[in-house]
């Protein structure tokens, strides 16, 4: 059943979920805005799409506390379609992506995740950690000396504050403090408002203005298939990470269906496809998020930022967000996977390194995961053949 409301999915952690949701909403801002500009989408529209995606999946998903929005991996795929055919074809592709994911959810595609080896999982997690880290480093050349000081200070505070108090997530305290500083030193710090056009939008529900023809289907189908697979792979591989962090179980099939429904509804609102965001999901959990209330608060906060508190949102310094996300990257990396290299597990290390390298180079999770699984299968086949001789 797609819609299922259990009390234990929502209640029991209200204070922590409230704070975590606020932190998560702010952590979503830089990635969504940055990749919206790359894809050719209005940043505010991308944030609105993220809020809708997150809201729908909060009510229908099977993994509480997992943040889903207009992720960068999806934006990179839609960029070429927007460039060649325009925004309306992107919207049509998003809706088709949702229907494909919904169909795959009912077909039980989530069961295929059990065939992904641990070494490939390590490669996936480590590649995403590296991509999160590189995305922050790429922003450094555009920062002032004051921004560099704020980044270093933020990183230090992210590790010091939890030793002093755990009442409020350190990221939330840092963002509040650094935003106040940005009001004082307006000309010396890059803010969210400097990332792109923050003009207002008037969201409406409508069909994309594209011809309902076979030719349109042939144009959007390749993009939709790519979006569907990348979105599901990223989401289904993020689920066990959040399961492990929260020491709880989830419903992967329900999550797949929810991802599809989220993209369908987001598409009808004129937004682009989304999926799970591992960095923001990790920071949500590390900030205390455990229940669906955390992602509900995150989606409502995004809507408030867009329509009520935009003047405050655009003043949030990017340096503070860069510092926070650097610590998230460091915490996301599976340091225990390095044990494979230390113990000279050559085959496993090779598969992990290839998976990491391909994902980081192509920014395409699907290619990296599929290649990693194929390599594992080849290794397994030859090892069995060797032992049978």
Residues 273-331 have pLDDT tens digits of: 999 998 899 999 999 999 999 999 999 999 999 999 888 888 989 899 899 889 988 88
Q: Which burial class, exposed, middle or buried, applies to 209 when counting CB atoms under 10 A from its CB (0-12, 13-18, 19+)? A: exposed
Is residue 358 within 8 A of residue 367, CB to CB? The reply is yes
Measured CA to CA, the distance from residue 205 to residue 308 in angstroms comes to: 21
Q: Sign of dihedral through CA atoms 24, 19, 267, 47?
A: negative
* For residue 272, pLDDT beyond 60: yes
Instruction: Report the alpha-carbon distance of residue 164 to residue 285 in Å, rounded.
Output: 19
- pTM as predicted: 0.87
Q: What is the mean pLDDT of residues 227-247?
A: 91
Stated length of the chain: 389
In angstroms, the CA 254 to CA 108 distance is: 10
Distance, CA of 381 to CA of 319 (rounded, Å): 49
The whole-number pLDDT of residue 389 equals 57
Tell me the pLDDT band of 1, cut-offs 50, 70 and 90.
low
When pLDDT is averaged across residues 133-162 and rounded to a whole number, the result is 89
Cross-strand bridge partners of residue 317? 191
Residue 389's CB is within 10 A of a number of other CB atoms, namely 4
Residues 6+ apart with CB under 8 A from 248: 64, 290
If pLDDT is split at 50, 70 and 90, which confidence band does 142 have?
confident
Averaged pLDDT score across all residues of the chain: 88
Q: pLDDT category, 113, cuts 50, 70, 90?
A: confident
* Strand pairing category for 275-276 and 68-69: antiparallel
Max mean pLDDT range (174-188, 285-299, 369-383): 285-299
- pLDDT given at position 265: 96
Cβ count within 10 A of residue 226: 20
Nearest to 24 by CA among 353, 295, 264, 317: 295
Question: Residue 191 pairs with which residues in a beta bridge?
Answer: 317
CA angle at 56 for the pair 238 and 208, rounded to the nearest 5°: 110
């Amino acid at each position: 059943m797609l819609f299922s409301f259990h009390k234990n999915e929502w209640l029991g952690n209200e204070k922590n979920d409230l704070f975590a949701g606020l932190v998560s909403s702010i952590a979503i801002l830089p990635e969504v805005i940055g990749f919206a500009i790359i894809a050719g989408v209005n940043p505010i529209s991308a944030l609105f799409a993220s809020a809708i995606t997150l809201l729908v999946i909060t009510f229908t998903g099977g993994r509480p506390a997992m943040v889903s929005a207009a992720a960068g991996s999806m934006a990179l795929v839609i960029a070429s379609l927007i460039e060649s055919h325009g925004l309306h074809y992107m919207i049509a592709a998003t809706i088709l992506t949702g229907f494909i994911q919904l169909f795959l959810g009912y077909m039980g595609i989530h069961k295929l995740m059990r065939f992904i080896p641990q070494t490939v999982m390590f490669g996936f997690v480590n590649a995403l950690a590296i991509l999160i880290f590189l995305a922050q480093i790429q922003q450094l050349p555009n920062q002032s000396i004051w921004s560099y000081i704020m980044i270093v200070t933020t990183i230090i505070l992210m590790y010091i504050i939890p030793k002093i108090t755990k009442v409020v997530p350190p990221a939330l305290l840092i963002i509040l403090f650094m935003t106040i500083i940005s009001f004082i030193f307006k000309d010396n710090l890059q803010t969210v408002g400097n990332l792109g056009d923050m003009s207002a939008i008037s969201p409406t529900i409508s069909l994309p203005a594209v011809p309902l023809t076979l030719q349109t289907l042939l144009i959007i189908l390749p993009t939709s298939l790519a979006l569907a697979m990348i979105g599901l792979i990223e989401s289904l591989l993020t689920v066990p990470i959040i399961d492990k962090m929260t020491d709880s179980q989830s419903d992967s099939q329900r999550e797949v269906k929810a991802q599809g429904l989220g993209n369908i509804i987001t598409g009808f609102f004129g937004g682009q496809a989304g999926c799970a965001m591992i960095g923001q999901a990790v920071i949500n959990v590390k900030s205390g998020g455990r229940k669906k209330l955390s992602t509900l608060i995150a989606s409502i906060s995004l809507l408030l930022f867009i329509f009520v508190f935009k003047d405050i949102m655009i003043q949030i310094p990017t340096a503070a967000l860069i510092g926070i996300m650097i610590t998230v990257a460091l915490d996301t990396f599976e340091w225990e996977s390095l044990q494979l290299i230390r113990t000279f597990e050559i085959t496993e290390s090779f598969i992990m390194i290839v998976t990491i390298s391909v994902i980081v180079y192509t920014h395409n999770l699907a290619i990296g995961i599929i290649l990693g699984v194929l390599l594992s299968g080849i290794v397994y086949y030859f090892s069995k053949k060797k032992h049978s001789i």
